[in-house]
Amino acid sequence: MSKAIITGITGQDGYYLSKLLLEKGYEVHGTIRRSSSFNTSRIEPLISEYGKDNQLTLHYSDLLDSTSLNTLIMTIQPDEVYNLAAQSHVAVSFENPVFTTQTGTLGSLALLESIRKSDKKIKFYQASSSEMYGGKGKEKLNEESLFDPRSPYAASKVFAHNMTKIYRDSYNLFCVNGILFNHESPHRGETFVTRKISRAVGRIYSGIQNKVTLGNLEASRDWGFAGDYVKGMWMMMQHDKADDWVLATGETYTVKDYAREAFKTVGLDWSEYIETSEKYFRPNEVDYLLGDSSKAQNNLGWSPETSFKDLVKLMVESDIELATREKVLISEGLMQPTWEHSKDS
């Protein structure tokens, strides 16, 4: 049985990747940070199904604690390590640049060092990001395109990306960089714009929210489905050569396009429910991102399976179900709305 360590297992990508690996028969070990409350809600179904047989095990660890990471790798002796953990919200990285930079740089370096010192040949996956490109042009971006980071988050990702390449070339380690363009799902964090919109649509449709406030509606992104993209992560690790890979759909849509499609799903006019505010604009905006995944398609056999419209529909339908449950709880006095523009506010 192959063993994998996933940092950031409680996030969106951690959920989909761990689900994929568990279904493939892997023994999966995930890292979680110590806190006063449990943050494992996304992966609870996986814990229930696989935890009792020790196929899925969670470990307390921290990307800023190199000793705990080293102990984990030396104890488990994994075949693969997937570094997905980060402070991944771009806007938040401007508010908390030190923490964002530390987790994005020191964590990957500590993992690479532990793998270098290990007696076992361990494969390493680094979660790079399309944000590294900066997005000031209109061209399709691939593995050879130049980076122009425009946020603390993107800058930290460039560092980790380059260190992964350095360790690969210097020590002959199997280290890959996955440059994933935006990938969404019903498990996306609710502060990310796609999920913020789908949550709002669900609540507005259910009658427990009036409108939603967004930032730059003209920002354009290459949006895919997270479930498709984690398959690409795994395929990179099975390839006979360690390399850098772009995963993208090759299509780009604005935030306005996403909002229009989301409200259209429930028969509503998006323009009647959306307002904008400067507080949701980034200090240094990335205007346009469009990816070229030809290399992954030709060499890995990977391609996106979920269309933009199907992705939006999937997210909206999931959040309608969630809003329906919230409405019942509110009506029974078991819940108070805490979101912006609730019907009671």
Question: Active-site residues: which are they?
Answer: 129, 131, 153
**Nearest Cα to 222, choosing from 151, 299, 133, 90?**
133
d(CA 98, CA 90): 13
What does the chain come to in residues? 345
CB 322, CB 202: distance < 8 Å: yes
- Strand (E) or helix (H) holding 178: strand 175-180
CB 57, CB 28: distance < 8 Å: yes
Residue 239 phi, psi (nearest 5): -65, 155
Rg (CA), the chain: 20
- Strand (E) or helix (H) holding 177: strand 175-180
Residues 181-214: b if buried by 16+ CB within 10 A, e if exposed: bbbbbbbbeeebbbbbbbbbbbbbbbebbeebeb
List of residues 6+ apart from 316 with CB closer than 8 A: 198, 201, 202, 262, 265, 266
DSSP string, 240-283: SS--EEEE--S--EEHHHHHHHHHHHTT--GGGTEEE-GGGS-S
d(CA 264, CA 137): 30
